[in-house]
Amino acid sequence: MTGQEPGAEALPTPEDNRRQLLYWRLLARLFDPEEQATLESGSLAVVEDIGLPSALLDPQASVDSIVQRHPELAAEFDGLMAPSEASPEPEPEPSPESDAASASAGAVDGGRDRAAEVRRAALVSKVLLNVFSTGSGTVTAGQLSRWQSDAGWLERSLGCKPGELRGARAGGIGPELGAIEAGLVKRMRLREVLADPRLAARLTPSMSLIEQLLRDKNNLSGVALANAKALIRRFVDEVAEVLRTQVEKATVGALDRSIPPKRVFRNLDLDRTIWKNLTNWSPEEERLYVDRLYYRHTARKTTPQRLIVVVDQSGSMVDSMVNCTILASIFAGLPKVDVHLIAYDTQALDLTPWVHDPFETLLRTNLGGGTDGTVAMALAQPKIAEPRNTVVVWISDFYEWQTEPLFESMAAVHRSGAKFIPVGSVTSSGRASVNPWFRERFKDLGTPVLSGHISKLVHELKTFLT
């Protein structure tokens, strides 16, 4: 309520104008790198008047550098753009007199703190401009590092942990952030950066950077190759830690009661031991004499299983290639699981000898362009010795050269009794583009394409293999 005549338009307050000015500057800078003098000078006056540092308007200043100089702002950036968990309670309707007084003072109006909205607009503009306005030309290692840091602040402002939108739970704007980062990496003189240990140390491994390293690894040598390998190994170890946790949390097999429980203290079933020995209770001594200790069963029923992972290593499936290579190595470490890994584009490569070491496996991949799954099937089919104890996971977008012959061979694998799992992608975000021709036929076959987060594939595999 503003105390005006019914139907009359509310007049903008000074705070409304200030907020609008900051957002007009944001839009102008996003779509035109040239400064608009009027918007810049007006925004500077607003920022200084509300007690914020003028560095917020400096496109060269990172959020990190601003927070280092003004640590009290860190709490304001956290959750800055996070959606509200609950709608505010409706405010009591103010009288015309009190409403006019608050409007003239720029205070809280109708439940809105307009002064706080201006401050928020200034902080939001800083984060968005630093992340989404990346300029043009060559990118240095320092610029990439700064962008990654600012992207982390954007994630924090959305209520996420740094790296979360570009990592395990990516979604929403996550793919857009990944695309911007990939563009920055492509604009780097990466070989020169890798050849300088000081510059290479400033790089933070990410999927975009790893993709570029895998594409260019055959052109690197000496110090540059050593630095590239170090970055790949760091990234592999970080992803492996996340996936290993997911595998450990997934469903496991039933208890195997045919195996006697291991007689160690951690397996002691104290409640059952007391219950079974209650007849030995001595009321006079108030003491329980224990004739026998009872232990819990912890062994799980497992049968030898074979896991065959076939991964499309064409350019569009790099994220899946990295994730599945690491995932295969984790399952290869489980008891009684025989893991085979095949990568293909127009040629197929059996990576099984290195499946326990995802780092070495990735170094042997050769990211290509086209896809011919029939060459991979020629390697995979002979490995299906016992169909009932075999699961075949095929990760691809299924845009194939020989569609019908490949699908017929996949259907034959399914009919043989092996568990066939087609997967559109195993990216961090779970987003996938799948050939609709294959999607429909897999659905008719009763083996729909698995889509969603990588944790779904982990659950499917763990349930079948243990």
- Residues 149-196 have pLDDT tens digits of 898 899 889 888 766 776 544 456 777 887 788 788 888 888 888 988
pLDDT above 70 coverage of the chain, percent: 79
Instruction: Find out whether 363 and 232 touch, Cβ atoms under 8 Å.
Output: yes
Q: Which range is least confidently modeled, 13-17, 341-345, 353-357, 457-461?
A: 457-461
Please report the pLDDT score of residue 437 as a whole number.
Answer: 93
**Average per-residue pLDDT in the chain?**
80
How far is 407 from 374, CA to CA, in rounded Å? Answer: 9
Please report the pLDDT score of residue 242 as a whole number.
Answer: 72
Q: Which range is least confidently modeled, 89-98, 119-128, 391-400?
A: 89-98
Describe the crossing of helices 318-332 and 454-465 by its angle, rounded to 10 degrees.
30
pLDDT above 70: residue 119:
yes
Please report the pLDDT score of residue 316 as a whole number.
Answer: 61
DSSP state of 72: G
Backbone dihedral region of 355: left (phi > 0), alpha (psi from -120 to 50 degrees) or beta?
Answer: alpha
Please report the pLDDT score of residue 464 as a whole number.
Answer: 66
Average pLDDT over residues 454-463: 72
Torsion, Cα of 214, 218, 223, 227 (10° steps): 10
C-alpha count within 13 angstroms, C-beta hemisphere, residue 170? 22
The residue type found at 392 is V
The angle at the Cα of 175, spanning 141 to 135, to the nearest 5 degrees, equals 40
The angle at the Cα of 27, spanning 23 to 30, to the nearest 5 degrees, equals 135
Q: Which range is least confidently modeled, 301-305, 379-383, 391-395, 411-415?
A: 301-305
Average pLDDT over residues 205-232: 85
Please report the pLDDT score of residue 269 as a whole number.
Answer: 86
Read off the pLDDT band of 445 (50, 70, 90). very high
Please report the pLDDT score of residue 13 as a whole number.
Answer: 87
Per-residue pLDDT tens digits for 234-254: 888 887 777 777 666 644 455
pLDDT above 90 coverage of the chain, percent: 25
* DSSP helix/strand/coil, 113: strand
The angle at the Cα of 41, spanning 36 to 46, to the nearest 5 degrees, equals 125
Q: Which range is least confidently modeled, 183-192, 284-293, 327-336?
A: 327-336
The residue type found at 169 is R
Q: Could you report how far apart the first and last alpha carbons of the chain are, in Å?
A: 64
Average pLDDT over residues 351-378: 85
Average pLDDT over residues 336-350: 88
pLDDT above 90: residue 122:
yes
Instruction: Find out whether 395 and 314 touch, Cβ atoms under 8 Å.
Output: no
The angle at the Cα of 177, spanning 188 to 182, to the nearest 5 degrees, equals 25
How far is 292 from 307, CA to CA, in rounded Å? Answer: 43
Q: Which range is least confidently modeled, 233-247, 271-285, 426-440?
A: 426-440
Please report the pLDDT score of residue 108 as a whole number.
Answer: 52
Cβ-based burial of 454 (10 A; exposed 0-12, middle 13-18, buried ≥19): buried
- 76, containing H or E segment: helix 74-77
Written out in words, the top-level CATH class of the domain with range 305-465 is alpha beta
Q: Which residues contact 351 (CB under 8 A, 6 or more apart)?
A: 325, 341, 342, 343, 361, 364, 365
Please report the pLDDT score of residue 376 as a whole number.
Answer: 93
How far is 407 from 398, CA to CA, in rounded Å? Answer: 10
Instruction: Find out whether 191 and 225 touch, Cβ atoms under 8 Å.
Output: no
**R_g of the chain, CA atoms, integer Å:** 30
Q: Which residues contact 369 (CB under 8 A, 6 or more apart)?
A: 314, 315, 345, 346
How far is 343 from 393, CA to CA, in rounded Å? Answer: 12
Tokens of 263: 């007689």
Per-residue pLDDT tens digits for 103-113: 444 445 556 78
- 423, containing H or E segment: strand 419-423
Please report the pLDDT score of residue 304 as a whole number.
Answer: 59
pLDDT above 80: residue 315:
no
Please report the pLDDT score of residue 248 as a whole number.
Answer: 64
| Residues of each domain in the chain carrying CATH 3.40.50.410 | 305-465
